Structure 1
Amino acid sequence: MILETLYTMLKNLYGINDAPDAITPYLLALKPRHDGHQEISVGSRFSGMEAMLVKETNDDVQLGVYLHPLIRQRLQHGSLRYDDLGYAAEGLSHFLYVIDRAGRNKSCSQLELELQAEVDKFIVLHLLTIEAAGKSPHNIFTWQFDSPDFAADLSHEERDRYETANHFAAKFCWKLRERCFFPLRRSELLAWIRPFFEANLEGKLARLIP
């Protein structure tokens, strides 16, 4: 199942040992809904397509990932469409990032989650395409960053967050594109992405602001 392939790929790229072995038990059939202050749905940029559940109870935190049934169906049939893979990569990135931060007793903002997810989407699309076609694709950066498709019903705050995440992710991903993917240099890729992943939001931005 390609979702498990994506999940394992991201887990291994960052060496996230505290994460569950498989993502399938955490896939949700229904999209998360806000429930007072107990439940948070992350990933509203593409309404109805992808979201992550973070539900806090008295002594526990429940996590889950939602992908629209049509996306899951296409992925199960081997879809390599950028949008399908992108939705999946974002949801899995959110899931793994929250688990990693929780394991370190650290918190993270939604901007931090979205910035990391944009970077992870870029990496995953390249690595999967290289596996399928044997070479790095030249059009992913343009597809992802030149004309980002933001949902029309976003609040001003949400749109600002997604635009900021997209802006700074583009800076980092351009560096990855130039240094790591033509051709693929896996050891150099890891040397770039692991410190970025480990950093908090301020640390991430410090790497991108002169």
Structure 2
Amino acid sequence: MLLFPEGDELSLAIYLHDQVLNNLHKNNPFLGLNEQNIHDFCIMTEEVSHFLYTAWKVRHSIQMTKLELELQAEVDKFIICNFYCLNHEARFNSLFLKELLFETFSLEEDLSLESKNRYSTASKLALHYCNFLENHYIKKALFSQMLEEIRRFYRLGQTDKISHINRTIFYH
């Protein structure tokens, strides 16, 4: 995501590498998520999440942190992929998705230690929260209740998101 502050205004833009766009065009996610497109679908979803979350925070004059932004994007990717597969009546392997999103991801080598720690922390926290969502809502098909939960979570700031996740760990 690109940010362009100008005086009292902030312009936002999403940038997706040509390679991502070409792969999504070639392996259209509207025809199904699979090993050929899920990685790029998640990249696109993450960038859209960053855009929407930033726009929402700015619109409501609420500050946010980079960790909060990354955490929300990790959760959004999990939710979007799950709902996508449910809406397309696709067979879906939740373990594969969680492994892809939270365990086997790789970070750019030239990232600062601070950035690496932020991404790792966001991933660990998101995994705990997504396990909670899966066990308490998705497996039980309680989707309207889950929407209420994720809307509340979305509006929380970093400290409250982390506290909420820590409380959900005890629900397992």
TM-score normalised by L of structure 2:
0.85
In the alignment, which of 152, 156, 161 is matched to residue 199 of structure 1?
156
Structure 1 residue 189: Cα displacement: 1.6
1:128 maps to a residue whose letter is Y
Partner of 1:44: none
- The one-letter amino acid paired with 2:2 is L
Unaligned runs of 5+ in 1: 1-51
State yes or no: 1:180 paired with 2:137.
Answer: yes
Partner of 1:56: 5
Aligned to 1:67: 16
1:149-188 correspondence runs (5 A): 149-182=106-139, 184-188=141-145
Summarize the alignment of residues 117-136 of structure 1 with structure 2, pairs less than 5 Å apart: 117-136=73-92
1:67 is displaced (CA, Å) by: 0.7
The answer as to whether partners of 1:97 and 1:113 remain within 8 angstroms in 2 is yes
1:146 offset after TM fit, Å? 2.2
Q: Secondary structure at the match of 1:56?
A: strand
Question: Identity, % of aligned pairs?
Answer: 30
How far, CA to CA, are the matches of 1:75 and 1:130 in structure 2? 20
In 1: Cα distance, 2:6 partner to 2:156 partner: 28
Deviating beyond 6 angstroms after TM superposition, the runs of 4 or more aligned structure 1 residues are none
Higher fraction of helix: 2
Matches within 5 A, 1:7-26: none
Give the aligned CA root-mean-square deviation in angstroms: 1.6
1:4-43 superposed Cα distances (whole Å, 9 cap, x missing partner): xxxxxxxxxxxxxxxxxxxxxxxxxxxxxxxxxxxxxxxx
1:130 Cα offset (Å): 2.1
Looking at structure 2, the residues matched to 160 and 59 of structure 1 have their Cα atoms a distance apart, in angstroms, of 32
Among candidates 107, 114, 134, match of residue 70 of structure 2: 114
Deviation at 1:201, TM superposition (A): 0.4
Structure 2: gaps (5+ residues): 168-172
Q: CA deviation at 1:101?
A: 0.6
CA distance in 1, matches of 2:133, 2:116: 25
Q: CA deviation at 1:183?
A: 5.2
| TM-score, scaled relative to structure 1 | 0.70
For each residue in 1:89-146, what CA deviation from the matched residue of structure 2 results, as whole angstroms up to 9, or x when unmatched?
1100000001111111111111110000000011111111223344443221122112
How many pairs were matched up?
159
Q: Whole-Å Cα distance in 2 between the matches of residues 187 and 135 of structure 1?
A: 21
